[in-house]
Amino acid sequence: MLYRPARRRHKPGSFRFTAPRPLPDVRAAMAPTHVAAAAGVPLRGVHALAVLSTALISTSFPVGEAIAKGLDPAVLMLVRFILAAAILAPVVGYSHGLRFPGWASVGRYAVLSACPVAFFWCMFEALRHTSALNTSAIFTLVPGISALFGALLAGERLGGRRLAALALAMAGTLWVIFRGDPERALGLAFNKGDLIFLAGSVAMAANMPLVKRFYRNEPTEVMTLWVLITGVFWLFLLANGKVWTTEWRAVDLRVFAGIAYLALFTTTISFFLNQYCTLRIGPTRLMTYRYLVPAFVIPIDWALGHGLPPAMTYPGVAIVLLASVVVQSGAAREDIRRRTA
């Protein structure tokens, strides 16, 4: 809050105290109403965290492709979630204490964890049959599908811009998958991995509206921990006893290194950032940053020695980026309209 002293005329040699008159807090007036100021992170900082979360998620595609064949997808994800929960539990214990939240809350967390579990299982299964760039392009459909779920679950209005962005993202995705080849497009030359990952993307799209629906004002890291713990339960069911029959000594050390990286950066940290940003800027604004994933994946894949994709894929990536611009500009106009209302 800013202050300026009120002017008062007084006699020379005398002193009179005048209470300052408060000026309106311009920053608070300009911030969207759903941005929580309690955390002390300005709106620009929240958007920067959304970009960081997207960059971390982008690394999971080439890293996942490198280790996907080293373990059964359910077993791999089980190890990943257990390790991520083990990393986060001491942080939650120190900050908030470890306590059982009650069966009702466990049920909420189990619903929330079902979506990322399905997504990640589909992702690692898909990466056995398709490329990191294909999966990253399909992932850009998640914001549009998430908007559809938001309309169904929360009654959100889709609007022309969201529908236009969904159409652009779909066009860009198909361009990347078919490498700009009309013959492949007309023949619908999807591979098995593309279709598996599309199913996983639908599951992930439901996650963001569900986070808003089931949030009960608990700390974000507490929610993240219990999502991971309940996710372990789902993955035990998916593994179907394969944990005990896996030849652990025969697993390449690089697979374990990849799992450790995914557990820390693209599970623990990205889960926390996703849920934090969802509660501050809303699921729609957050998911628009997912359109940046293919643009991140291309240089990451190149840095890992996988080479660059064919030149005909780049127009598709550009179309996907255009979808992000469409949605973000529309969201910015909504913020201005909300402030002036």
Within-domain flag for 164: no
**pTM check: above 0.75:** no
When divided into structural domains, the chain yields a total of 1
Within-domain flag for 18: no
- 272-314: pLDDT as tens digits: 888 788 778 877 678 778 878 888 888 888 888 877 888 888 8
Within-domain flag for 153: no
Within-domain flag for 268: yes
Confidence at 29, pLDDT banded by 50, 70, 90? very low
The dihedral through the CA atoms of 267, 273, 278, 279 has a sign that is: positive
The reported pLDDT for the residue numbered 110 is 94
3-state secondary structure string across 171-229: HHHHHHHCCCCHHHHHCCCCCHHHHHHHHHHHHHHCHHHHHHHHCCCCCHHHHHHHHHH
The reported pLDDT for the residue numbered 26 is 34
Within-domain flag for 333: no
Within-domain flag for 108: yes
Within-domain flag for 169: no
The reported pLDDT for the residue numbered 155 is 66
Show the domain range for 55: 43-139+191-307
